[in-house]
Chains A and B, each alone.
Chain A
Amino acid sequence: MIQNLARRIFLIYALIVLLTALFVARIFYYSLFVEANVPTVVRANRIPAMRGTIYDASGRVISSDILVYQAWLDFEFLRRNANDKEVETVFQAIEENFSIPKDQLYDYLHSGRYYLLLGSKPTLEELNELVIPSMRKYVSNEMAIQRLSYREYGLGRIIGSLDGGGDPVSGIEKTYDEHLRGKADGVIRRTITGSERIEPVNGDDIYLSIDMRYQMILHEEIQKATQRNDADGALAILLESSTGKIVAYAGSYDWDLGLLGVFEPGSSIKPLIYALALETGSVEVDYEFYCEGRIQPVPGLDIVMRDVEGQRHDDISFSQALVESCNVATVQIGQAILDNLGRNAMRAELEKLGLGRITGVDLPGETEGLFAQVNHWSLISPYQFVIGQGVGVNIFQMSRALNVFASGGRLFVPSFVNALGYGTDIRPVAPAVESVLFSEHVVETLIPILEDVVNYGTGTRARVDGIRIAGKTGTAQKAAVGGYSDTDYYALFWGFFPVEDPKYSLMIMVDTPKAGEYYGGTVAGPIFRDIVRRMYQVDEQKSISQGLYFWKVPDMYGYSMRDVFEIADLYEISDILIHGTGFVVDQDPAPGEPVGDRLEVWLSSEMID
């Protein structure tokens, strides 16, 4: 009997041992042969890795992550530990404090759901005001991140945005996602004996070349100008001449036409054509042209190209042709280039300027622009190109190409970013020189001509007293069905300043101004001027009587030369020594020093902030 008992017991025991063997096999498999996809973060006490901060050129924060505190309801814990009355109390409190309907909570409770995000707050204190004591047992608090961006003045379009899941969809956020993205979450946790804290590895910060002050100026001026000119839209871009970095970029369109769209450059392309003609030896600077107001570039082809309003320039020099933006002379220069290089080489040279290819600016989605291959050229095409017709450019292509006159001939890959890095490990992003387009000699030849454009040519409306500006206007008829429109134009102006030591390159485009004026010089020129004046605070000069005391020398920083003379007169100082032009940046005696019988001041068109 006992043997029978023992047999039966050991039969069951043997079955259990066999079952254990199966367990062991499975445990072996999972322990040794399955790579654990271990969650990198621990839900309850992770320290989220933050996305890098985006700063402007002056270190102002534009976009950054902040920590928020979230309250999560633990349904499983509730199911296991709360009675009906407690559940009702907790749900009632949640409905009152987080506005989540009770019915919905009961649905979740019965559905087998584990967690529910109740809400989030910027501080734990604020969150705890909502998580009242009766629900605390069932609610856990976690840290999470939220991105805040300063999106005013068109910055939103530049920096871009993130989708609900924290993935970037556009702008700098997208281009530099790999740098910005948080690298690894950290964790704080208890161990058996104490605690352990692993710091998160945050994403790299980005220091933009965008200067928020200039961005604001461009944005406001572009908005104003669009309204004033009853235009379809307008664009402006400000580059740092010596680096190709973008200091400000604004538009008044609903979409990013400057990057994604194209416009015809019109006469604003001419400085590049004239420089190309000199560089390739197709013309010499002392060449003379004859302009009778119209020209038929291809003999036998019934297409006539005219100057604006059929203006005749008669005998006109190379430089004068550019100053007065003479189309007829320009077509002749185009003819010279074509004769010299042939179609293929001419196209290659124009492509080197950046036509028909992306600039590589660090915003996603840049258009290549429009620039036909030689086999698609008509007979008239080369003559159209040289006056900025038949090609489509984005504003980055055009502004970086023209910037070569301010950068000693260097063509930059435009960029919004000055530096990258985290903490003390900030790595500057060097300006990217794509090529040197023109020799120093050619550039030096063109600069005075471009300055004349502003001083007495088509661009006089862009002039700002005290600041030397070189530039070029452009008025491009908009393409319409079956040719060019007689009423719709792109009004363009590009210029750089100060000429003696180029710092900025600014391009303005106004799309279809309908308030009367439509020339680049008269529509875009004044916008250019207004922007420069605001940049240099020309209109915001101090009233000279402000803060004057007869016993000490006043602070003359920012005063004009005329103001200096006026002050010298007030103080009866006769020995005045002035260096440079523009506005006072330094003085001797220093402000506050006793008044002597001499005054020496240094002026500059560049204000030091």
Chain B
Amino acid sequence: MRRSYFALAIYASVFLAFGFVFIYSAGISMEARNPYLSASDFLFKQLVAFALGLAGALVIVYFGGSRHFKYVFSIYYPAIILLLGAVFLFPERGGSRRWIDLGFFNLQVSEFAKIVLILLLAKYFADLREKKQTIVRAVIIPFLLAIPLIGLVFIQPDLSTAGILLVLTLMMMLIGGVKISYLVAVISLMVVLVVVGFVYELIEPYQLERITAFFSSFGGEEHEQISYSLMALSSGGLTGTGLGLGVVKYYIPVSYSDFIFAVIGEELGLIGIIILLIAYIGFGRELILAGIRGAKSVEGKLFISGFALYVLLQASVNIAVNLGLFPPTGVTLPFISYGGSSLLSLMIGFGLVFSILSDKEEESAEVA
């Protein structure tokens, strides 16, 4: 197990190192665009988020894994309340209400909602295994649990995070042991709902525009971000332009966050990108193996696997966007992109993983 801890720590360090270096490098490009921004500020804020996340993770490890599952509803309800707060109490920014303004820090609650959802469903499906599976227990109740979170994120509006939450729910159902026939039924029903949504115009116009713009045209201003991110890869070539020396990054609108992958591609080239991809794949594998082998409880196995798949899913969506394979969504690259809430929630999730794994260790030690 120690080998696993070590490997996970190494992977996490690789991601964080990539993140800190390239947030600074991308920050330089933002600085050039706007003299009132500073690359050091970007880096500093990310380091603060990291420190807070590390502290949070240590606290979580200290409490021990099984306790988190016992009190999962005591974080589920606050999460809903915070989401309600973000939507109804705090001012709109750039057309959506996602943030809770803490003065020094804007908290994006939906990032934490992802971890809460995985934790909650891990617990629920672990419990379900003891019972007889029915459509109500296997599908309807999990959805009733997930819908407040998904719904509140959807009306912010933040379609992409809502989408991630929805896919996480389905993924947890799948690994939670829900019958395949139920899953097929659920997915079919969702397709019908989406069609209805289109017909009755329940989807915001800008969301439609993003999708139609993406599929209808691979040129023009709408597509600028993507063409520049691909250009960044071409500019990087095999070995990249060198740290901080990218040029295309100056043209990428949110280079420090959604498109940080392209900046890495430009400055470290194909080699850097491959290392990054291997790191993600290896990280996922190590986490899943650790979960299955190392976690004592089923809920622990489900959470760790769910967390691993969540990280991989989010990374895949982000990379797909960077490669022009998916519409621009605003999904960050886990552990790497700039964003305090994202890093903080990931660190907390990682803390939960370690607390679950250490539970097992302690108990094994006691047995021995």
B21 proximal to A (CB < 8 A): yes
Asked whether, in the complex, the Cβ of A43 is within 8 Å of the Cβ of B250, the reply is yes
CB neighbours of B305 from chain A (8 A): 5, 9
Q: How far is the CA of A189 from the CA of B27 in the complex (A)?
A: 12
Number of A-B contacts (CB under 8 A): 174
Asked whether, in the complex, the Cβ of B316 is within 8 Å of the Cβ of A9, the reply is no
Q: How far is the CA of A80 from the CA of B284 in the complex (A)?
A: 31
Q: How far is the CA of A83 from the CA of B93 in the complex (A)?
A: 4
Contact of B32 among A13, A112, A190 (CB under 8 A): A190
CB neighbours of A74 from chain B (8 A): 33-34
Q: How far is the CA of A532 from the CA of B93 in the complex (A)?
A: 74
Asked whether, in the complex, the Cβ of B288 is within 8 Å of the Cβ of A16, the reply is no
Interface residues of B in 277-327 (CB under 8 A from A): 277, 280-281, 284-285, 288, 292, 298, 301-302, 305, 308-309, 312-313, 316, 319-320, 323, 325
Asked whether, in the complex, the Cβ of A35 is within 8 Å of the Cβ of B234, the reply is yes
Asked whether, in the complex, the Cβ of B94 is within 8 Å of the Cβ of A81, the reply is yes
Q: How far is the CA of A192 from the CA of B249 in the complex (A)?
A: 14
Asked whether, in the complex, the Cβ of B270 is within 8 Å of the Cβ of A28, the reply is yes
With a 10 A CB-CB cut-off, give which of A30, A39, A139 has the most chain B CB atoms.
A30
Q: How far is the CA of A13 from the CA of B309 in the complex (A)?
A: 7
Contact of A138 among B34, B243, B250 (CB under 8 A): B34
A608 proximal to B (CB < 8 A): no
CB neighbours of A83 from chain B (8 A): 91-93
Asked whether, in the complex, the Cβ of B171 is within 8 Å of the Cβ of A12, the reply is yes
CB neighbours of B25 from chain A (8 A): 192
CB neighbours of B313 from chain A (8 A): 16
Contact of A190 among B31, B221, B280, B312 (CB under 8 A): B31
Asked whether, in the complex, the Cβ of A192 is within 8 Å of the Cβ of B247, the reply is no
CB neighbours of B245 from chain A (8 A): 191, 196
CB neighbours of B270 from chain A (8 A): 27-28, 31-32
Interface residues of B in 203-257 (CB under 8 A from A): 209, 221-222, 224, 230-231, 233-238, 243-245, 247-248, 250-251, 253-254
Contact of A139 among B28, B34, B323 (CB under 8 A): B34
B177 proximal to A (CB < 8 A): yes
CB neighbours of B251 from chain A (8 A): 39, 42-43
CB neighbours of B236 from chain A (8 A): 31
- Chain B, Cβ-Cβ closest to A142: B33
Q: How far is the CA of A76 from the CA of B316 in the complex (A)?
A: 24
- Chain B, Cβ-Cβ closest to A38: B235
Asked whether, in the complex, the Cβ of A30 is within 8 Å of the Cβ of B91, the reply is no
B82 proximal to A (CB < 8 A): no
Contact of B319 among A23, A37, A141 (CB under 8 A): A23
A27 CB to nearest B CB, Å: 5
A113 proximal to B (CB < 8 A): yes
A441 proximal to B (CB < 8 A): no
CB neighbours of B78 from chain A (8 A): none
B225 CB to nearest A CB, Å: 9
Asked whether, in the complex, the Cβ of B243 is within 8 Å of the Cβ of A44, the reply is no
Asked whether, in the complex, the Cβ of B237 is within 8 Å of the Cβ of A32, the reply is yes
Contact of B174 among A8, A85, A193 (CB under 8 A): A8
Asked whether, in the complex, the Cβ of B28 is within 8 Å of the Cβ of A190, the reply is yes
- Chain A, Cβ-Cβ closest to B285: A13
Asked whether, in the complex, the Cβ of A84 is within 8 Å of the Cβ of B284, the reply is no
Asked whether, in the complex, the Cβ of A31 is within 8 Å of the Cβ of B238, the reply is yes
Asked whether, in the complex, the Cβ of B34 is within 8 Å of the Cβ of A140, the reply is yes
Interface residues of B in 258-278 (CB under 8 A from A): 265, 269-270, 273-274, 277
CB neighbours of B103 from chain A (8 A): none
With a 10 A CB-CB cut-off, give which of B234, B243, B313, B323 has the most chain A CB atoms.
B234
Q: How large is the interface on B (under 10, 10 to 19, 20 to 34, 35 or more residues)?
A: 35 or more
Contact of B231 among A36, A78, A81 (CB under 8 A): A36
Interface residues of A in 12-46 (CB under 8 A from B): 12-13, 16-17, 19-20, 22-24, 26-28, 30-32, 34-39, 42-45
Given contacts A8-B177, A27-B323, A37-B231, contact A79 B94 (CB under 8 A): yes
B247 CB to nearest A CB, Å: 6
Asked whether, in the complex, the Cβ of B233 is within 8 Å of the Cβ of A31, the reply is yes
Asked whether, in the complex, the Cβ of B175 is within 8 Å of the Cβ of A12, the reply is yes
Q: Mark A182-205, 1 if CB is under 8 A from B, else 0.
A: 000000011111001000000000
Asked whether, in the complex, the Cβ of A31 is within 8 Å of the Cβ of B269, the reply is yes
B129 proximal to A (CB < 8 A): yes
Q: How far is the CA of A350 from the CA of B98 in the complex (A)?
A: 86
Q: Mark B59-71, 1 if CB is under 8 A from A, else 0.
A: 0000000000000
Asked whether, in the complex, the Cβ of B247 is within 8 Å of the Cβ of A42, the reply is yes
CB neighbours of B92 from chain A (8 A): 83-84
Asked whether, in the complex, the Cβ of A42 is within 8 Å of the Cβ of B250, the reply is yes
CB neighbours of B319 from chain A (8 A): 23
Given contacts A83-B92, A190-B31, contact A112 B253 (CB under 8 A): no
Asked whether, in the complex, the Cβ of B265 is within 8 Å of the Cβ of A191, the reply is no
Asked whether, in the complex, the Cβ of B21 is within 8 Å of the Cβ of A192, the reply is yes
- Chain B, Cβ-Cβ closest to A137: B36
Q: How far is the CA of A138 from the CA of B94 in the complex (A)?
A: 13
Interface residues of B in 55-98 (CB under 8 A from A): 91-95
CB neighbours of A112 from chain B (8 A): 209, 221-222
Contact of A30 among B34, B230, B247, B308 (CB under 8 A): B230
Listed A/B pairs (22) with beta-carbon separation below 8 Å: A1-B298, A2-B298, A5-B175, A5-B302, A9-B292, A12-B174, A19-B316, A19-B320, A27-B233, A27-B274, A30-B233, A31-B236, A31-B270, A34-B234, A39-B248, A42-B247, A79-B94, A79-B95, A80-B94, A84-B91, A85-B91, A190-B32
**A-B pairs, 5 with minimum CB distance:** A192-B244, A36-B234, A36-B235, A191-B244, A31-B270
User: B residues near A, CB below 8 A?
Assistant: 21, 24-25, 28-29, 31-37, 39, 91-95, 129, 171, 174-175, 177, 209, 221-222, 224, 230-231, 233-238, 243-245, 247-248, 250-251, 253-254, 265, 269-270, 273-274, 277, 280-281, 284-285, 288, 292, 298, 301-302, 305, 308-309, 312-313, 316, 319-320, 323, 325
- Known contacts A44-B33, A114-B221; 11 additional CB pairs below 8 A are A10-B288, A16-B284, A22-B325, A30-B234, A34-B234, A35-B234, A36-B235, A42-B247, A76-B253, A85-B91, A140-B34
